[in-house]
Structure 1
Amino acid sequence: MSDALQSQDWANGRGGKWQSQLSAIEAMLKPVDTPLLAAMDLSRPGRIADIGCGGGGTSLAIAARAAAGSQVHGFDIAPELVASARERAVGADAPVIFEQSDVTVADLPSLRFDQLVSRFGIMFFAEPAAAFARLADWLTPGGSFTFAVWGPADDNLWMDGARREVAAVMALPEPDWRAPGPFRYGDPDPLLALLADAGFSGLHVDEWRGPLPVGGGLAPEQAADFALSSFAISERLADADESQRQTARQRLTERFRNHVSNGEVWMDARVHLVSGRR
C-alpha cells in the first residue's frame, strides 16, 4: 500500500472526505489566502483559473478582490468539492464558475487565462512534467501564475505531527517526500526545474511562515480527532486496532496541548509561494 496521494484519489473518495470537513479545513487554511492573493496582480481585469480549487474558498476570495470585469474559474477533479463550491458561490458578490475537471488531460480552454493560481492543488499530479506543460498552454503569452505549496514536513508539524504520533504506535513505511503528496515540493528546486522545462520563466519563490488554527480553531482533543480523521494518515490508522488508535489520539492530543492559544490549537506552518510567467 502506497502512501502517495495522487490527483485521481481526490476523485475516488478523498474529495468526499475533504468535503465532509470542508468548513473546518477552509477555516484552517484561510490564513494562507492573504499572502497568496497579495502575490497576485488583481489590479487589472483578467481571466483567472484556480487549479485544484477544492471547496472554492480561494476562488471566491480572489473574485471578491479582483478588478471589476475579471472572470474567475475554479477547477477541481473531485465532484463533491465542486458541488460544494457551486453552493457557496450562490449569491456571491462576484460570481465564480466552478468546473469538475482533471486539468492534466482536459481540453484547452477556448479562451486562455491571464493568471493561474493554486492553493495546494499542484502537488498531486501523477505526471507533473506533462501537467505543467499543459498548464502553460492555458496561459496567454505573458500570463502569470502563483502557486502555494507546503514547505518541508519538519516545518509543518500541524500536519506531519499526526503521522509521527501514529508511527509511534504502529509500523509505517518511511515517507517518500518526492512522491505525489502535500510535501512533494517541500524543497522547491524540483518544482522550479519542472516549471522551467514546461516553458515558464521569471521563476521566483517567496516564503510565508505563520500559525494555522488546526481544524479551524479547536481544543486539543477535538483537534486530534479532526487530524486523525481528515489527514491522509487516517487511511493507515484504519488498519490499527482500537488500543493503537486510542494511544495515537492521546499522543497527538498531548502534542497539541503544547500549542494552545485562548483554548484553540494554533501551530506554525511554512509555505512556498512560487510565481512566474509564460
Structure 2
Amino acid sequence: MSLDDCAEALREHDPDRFGICLLAPAEARPRLLTLYALNLELARAPLASTEPLIAEMRLQWWIERLEDIGAGKVQSHELLTPLAEAWGPRAAGFPVLAEARRRDAAREPLDGPEAVAAYVRDTAVPLARFAAEAMGWEAAGGFAPPDPRGVFGKRRKPDVAEVVDAQAEGVGLAHWLAALPALQGLGLGLWDASPEVLAGIAGKARAKLAEARAQRRFVPRRLAPVLFAGAGVRAALRAAPRGIEALAGAAPSEFRRRLALGAFALTHRWWI
C-alpha cells in the first residue's frame, strides 16, 4: 500500500479523514495518511471474524508488527512499509490504538453512556494526539502533562492537549452515535439503545465539544485540520434523542460533506 493507496482507502471508507489529509501541509501528509490508514485497518481487524479468538489474533499481529517497527526491524508490507518510513521509531506508540480495539473482538455491546465515553477516550483520543504530532505539534513542545495550578496559584491557561482531547472525545461520541445503527447489527452497540440513553451520550458529546470550543484560542492554527469535526456531527447529535431510527437517516450527503470541508478550508473554524 503506497501513500496513494492509503489515500484511496480513506477516500472510500473514511472520507472525513481523507479530507483532513488534503488540507494538511504537504510535509504532514505521509504521517497523516499512514496513521489514518492504520486506524482504518485496526478498526476492521476485529470484525474480520465472528470468532473472538481469531479476531483477537488479528489484532495481536498488528501489535507485534508495530512493535517491530519501533525496534527498527524492516517491514515488507503494503501499509507497514510506508508507515515505518513516515513515523520511524515513533510507531512504537501505536499499539495503544490496537489495544483499544480488543473489546471489539468479543462482540459485546456497551452498557450505557459512561461505557461509550470510556471506549471513545481509548480509541479516538490517542488517534487525535498522534494526528496532532503529524501536524508538527511534537516539534513545538508536544503534549506535556498539564500543571494544575499556574504561578502563585493563579488559574493556568489550558494545555493544548486538553483541548485536543476534549474535541476528540466530543467528535468521537458523535461519530459513534452516527455509526450505531450498523454497530447494533454487529453486536458492538448498546444493550439498551433507548432514546433516553442515546440522549445521554449526545449530552456528553455536546459537553466535550463546548469545552473544546471555549478554549479554542489556545490551539495553534496548524492543528485545525485534525480537530475538524466533519459534516455529520450536528445531525447525529440532533437525531440521537429521537432514537436509533432517526440516527439511521441522519448521515450527511456527499454534497454536505464537500460543503463542510470547503467552508472549513476557508475559515479554519474547527469548533462547533
Q: Same fold (TM over 0.5)?
A: no
Structure with bigger RCO (C-alpha 8 Å, 6+ apart): 1
What is the TM-score of this pair, normalised by structure 1?
0.31
Q: Relative to total residues, which structure has the larger helix share, 1 or 2?
A: 2
What is the TM-score of this pair, normalised by structure 2?
0.32
Q: Relative to total residues, which structure has the larger strand share, 1 or 2?
A: 1
